Every structure is written in structure tokens, then in C-alpha cells.
Amino acid sequence: MSCYVTRLRVAWVLWLLCAGFCSSCEEDTVDPVRFGRVEGQVLDARTNQPLANTAITTNPATSSFVTDAQGKFSIAQAPEGRVAITAKRADYRQETANVTITEGQTAMVTVLLERSNAATTPPTPIRPNPADKATNQPTDLRLTWSRGPLPSRTDTVRYDVVLYESNSTDRRQLLTNAKDTTVQVSGLKFNTTYYWQVTARTASGGTARADIWSFQTRPMPDNRFLLVREENGNTDIYSSDEAGTNLRRLTTSPFIETAPQLNPNRDRIAYTSNATGLFQLYTMNRDGTDARQISVLPVDGYFNQGIGFRWSPDGAHLIYSSYNKLYRINRDGTGLITLATAPADRHFRECDWTAQGNRIVVQTIGINPYDAELYLLNADGSGMTQLVGNLPGRLDSPSFSIDGRRVVYTRDVDGFNDVGGRQLNAHIFTQNLDGTGLVDVSAGPSTTGVGGKPLGFNDVAPRYSPDGAKIIFVQVNNVPGSTPDIYTAELNGSARTRLFQNGTRPDWR
């Protein structure tokens, strides 16, 4: 019995060994690899521009690829299933996109690359123009500089430019984040040193600052002429030489600035502005800087609107009309006193002050612009006597000759009494203080009118030249709204010459 059991067990073990051996000998089956296609493009994530020469790898691995000029790549044999596509490029963060591949199908993929956080240092700006420490530069000029080679072909550089004025806290930001390597700067002061610095920046945050460069502007030209010009609806003050080659705009506000007058000492310009709502007296440097309001009571009244004022002969004071009062004020705005009061129902308007005899000439005016008279008075306001009575037509703009013996003024000889102030035929006259020696300058040197004022025009706003040999004035068509021009003429009206187009309220010192 035991022998039988033993034989049975041996048989069972042999059967198991045979079964195991046979099963291990069965043939394994392997599925075939199937492929699809991938078409892709790599773009800058910020600008959406294609990125050429970007390295492309895959997982599972296929081959390595590089994007073309349009940032595109193509994988013809991509294994079916999920494939990771990795894009790598200098100055950018590596990025991986996953795509599912189907046999015989084309999968489309776009990979967006962000620039790396590593800041790329831009080239330092060089070769400034004007050159460092240049002198005699214009007050309106263009600043330029050059840059070296960029860190990479895809990098961009932008610039900030700052301008500093010497001996001042004035700081002007001329450019911010600009691609240009040039910037226009205007309105600089004469005879002043300026410092400027250019900062270069890359998109990755790198910066490079140029040296601090400097230049000095040219000395202020001796512009002896002042005038008022209206352009694009804005009325401003200009200075110029006689040839007009150094025309310079001195005021730039959106308000009306008018009636400029250079101080006899030639250091400050007085003018009026309606920036406060009413015309007030201001002074400024000859280059238009350091503007200061010096009056509180306005330069206003019947048909005044900012024109009724004048420097004292020594340049220490100004006189000005405000309604029916004539005031004197120190050049710094202190010491206001009343000099005179106009006759009943009249206002003071234009005026002048001569050192010869220390006298004042002043116009008084009623509620109509043609209702005007001229008076003489002492510098302290006493002794007011009539110089020219109320004649038909407008009577305007009294001013002394250089020697104080004669006055010049204008009058509409056609006697046109227009309540709107229009004149048809305004002439310039000069006469002695006693009323004798009347000369019609606008008529010209002969009774035929040769060299005189053309028909249909008015001569207005006259002043004597600094040497007393000429008169500067405005010629304007008598049609309202016409553009005025500035002329000069000899004392007898000959040699009538245009100096400036589109100008009024001239001053010449």
C-alpha cells in the first residue's frame, strides 16, 4: 500500500513539471508600433512672434528638431499615444506640451515660450551728440547717441533719458521706455550748462547707464524787438532781432499775453496776462523765464484790456491805468500809490513817461472807443492839462519822443465813429507838447502820398525807435479780423519797411 502511494505522488509531481514546462514554451505575441504626425509652432508668449532656431525634443524619444524661420517644426514619425514635446531656446524658459497621437492622423500643437528671468545686460549708450562738454549749443536741439551690438538677435533695447539744469533742481524726463536713439529738447535757457544721461533697458530687466554728459547753450542773443503774435488762436509774446533770424517765443500759456515792454535797463520785460481772469501786470527775464505777477488791481477799464501801462524812465517803477485811476508801482509789486483820477465818467487807458521834464502823457476814454482825449501831467500826478481834445474818429496810443519834446499818437482821419472800435483810415501824427509842429507821418513825405500808408489800411500802435530817428508801428487792413504786420518808417513817413508779418504791439529798445 505504501509503495502504491509513493508511486502516485511521483506521477503527480512529474505531471506538474511537464505542465509547467509546456506552458513556458508557448510563443509570446507583440503588438505593432503605430505612428502619427505632429505639426507645431513655437511663439514668444509676450509678443506672439515666431521663434526660429528653437530646439525640439520628444518623450518617447524620436529625433531632435529645430524650428524654421517661422518658428515651425514637423515630426513625421511620432508614436501613437501620449507624447511630450519640449521646446528649448536661449534666453527663454524651457516649456513642454503634451499631445495625443493617433495612427495616420496629424496633431497640431503650439508651444509658447516665456523669456527667462535672467536679465540680459544691454550695451552701454555711447557717442553722444552734442559731444560731451560741447559749448555754444542752441536752446532747441536734438540729442542723439549710439548703441553697441545687442546681446542676441531677438533682444530689444529701450531708453530713458533725463536732463538736468545746472544750479537748479529742474529735472526733465525726456524719454521713457522708447526705442529711439534720439530726442528733441526745446525751451532751454541761454548761457546755461545742462547734464543728461541715457539709461538702456532690455525686456528681461537688464540695465546699463551711460556716463553723464553735458553741454552749454549759447549766450542770449540781443533781441531788441518785442512783439505779440496770434497763432492757432493763442496770443503770445516773442522777441527777435531785426532780421527775424532769432525769433523766440517767450510765453506759452493758453491765455492772452500782450503789450510787452523791455525795461530801460534791458533786464526785465513787463507785460500783461489774463491768466487770472483779468489782465494783470507781470514781469519776466528776457528769455521768458521767472515770470512774476506784480499787480493786484487789474490793468483794465474802457477799451483797456491790458495795454495801459509803461515803465518809468529809470526802470524802477511802472505806471498803469485801472479804470479811472492811474497808479504807480515798484517793479517788484510793492509800493502801490495812486497818481491821478480821470475826469468824471472817463477811464485812463494808454500812457507813457519821459525822463525829460519827468512828465506823463495819458489817454482818457469814455464809454465809446472814439471818445478820447490826451493829457499831460507831472510824474507825481499833478498839473493835468489837455494835450489833444476829443476829435471825430478814434484817438489812441500816445508816446513821447526820445528827447521828450514831442508826442506820437494815432487818429482816424476819416472821423469814423464806430461803437465797435473799427477804424477806416488811422494815421500816425507827431506834434510838439504845445500843439505846434503837427506832422502826418502816414501821409508820407509828399502831398501825393508817395511812400505813405496804402488805402484801406490803418497805422496803429506807434513808438519811437531807441535812437529817435524812426517810428515802429503796426499796419493792418481796416477789415476786422485782418492779420497785422509791423513796419518802420522815417519820422517824415518815408522808407516805409515791413519788419515782421503777423505781429502787433511792438517794442524796440
CATH value at residue 132: 2.60.40.10
User: Averaged over 469-494, what is the pLDDT?
Assistant: 96
The CA dihedral of 412, 417, 418, 424, to the nearest 10 degrees, is -30
Domain contains 1: no
Please say if the pLDDT value at position 26 is more than 60. no
For the residues 350-356, what does the mean pLDDT come to? Answer: 97
Report in angstroms the alpha-carbon separations of 254 from 30, 285, 470: 88, 20, 34
State mean pLDDT over 286-298.
95
CA–CA dist 418, 475 (Å, integer):
19
| pTM for this model (two decimals) | 0.68
Label residue 64 exposed, middle or buried (CB < 10 Å: 0-12, 13-18, 19+).
exposed
- Domains held by the chain: number: 3
The rounded distance, in Å, linking the Cα atoms of 156 and 115 is 12
Q: 5 φ, ψ to 5°?
A: -65, -40
Residues 212 and 249 in one domain: no
In the block, cell 528653437 appears at 54
The lowest-confidence range among 186-190, 204-208, 212-216 is: 204-208
- Closest by alpha carbon to 164, among 144, 189, 129? 189
251 and 386 co-located in one domain: yes
Split at pLDDT 50, 70, 90, the class of 453 is very high
- What residues are paired with 472 via a beta bridge? 463, 488
Q: Which of 54-63, 375-384, 391-400, 453-462 has the lowest mean pLDDT?
A: 54-63
190, part of any domain: yes
Output the pLDDT for position 5.
Answer: 38
pLDDT in tens, 88-123: 998 788 899 899 999 899 999 999 998 776 667 889
Contact at 8 Å (CB) between 494 and 445? yes
Q: Give the mean pLDDT of the chain.
A: 90
pLDDT at residue 119, rounded to an integer: 65
What integer pLDDT is reported at residue 2 of this predicted model?
42
Q: Verify that 107 and 159 share a domain, yes or no.
A: no
Among 42, 39, 58, CA closest to 90: 42
Structural domain span for residue 449: 225-508
Q: Given a cut of 70, is residue 191 above it in pLDDT?
A: yes
Within a domain: residue 30? no
DSSP-assigned states of every residue in 459-476: EEEEEE-TTSSEEEEEEE
Per-residue pLDDT at 486 exceeds 70: yes
Band the pLDDT of 244: cuts 50, 70, 90: confident
Q: Of 162, 184, 217, at which residue does a domain stop?
A: 217
8 A C-beta contact, residue 288 and residue 250? yes
Last residue of a domain, one of 113, 145, 166: 113
| 354 has a pLDDT exceeding 50 | yes
The answer on 81 and 146 residing in a single domain is: no
Confirm if 406 and 400 have CB atoms less than 8 A apart. Answer: yes
Residue 153: its pLDDT value, please? 58
Q: Which of 90, 113, 136 is the last residue of a domain?
A: 113
pLDDT of 12 > 70? The answer is: no
Same domain, 460 and 354: yes
* pLDDT for position 445: 82
**pLDDT over 60 at 243, yes or no:** yes
Q: Which domain CATH number covers 77?
A: 2.60.40.1120
In the predicted structure, residue 3 carries a pLDDT above the cut 60: no
**Do the Cβ atoms of 271 and 257 come closer than 8 Å?**
yes
* Residue 26 in domain: no
Exposed e or buried b for every residue in 456-467, given b needs 16+ CB within 10 A? ebbbbbbbbbee
How many angstroms from the chain centroid is the CA of residue 110? 46
HSE, CB side, 13 Å, CA atoms: give it for residue 65.
25
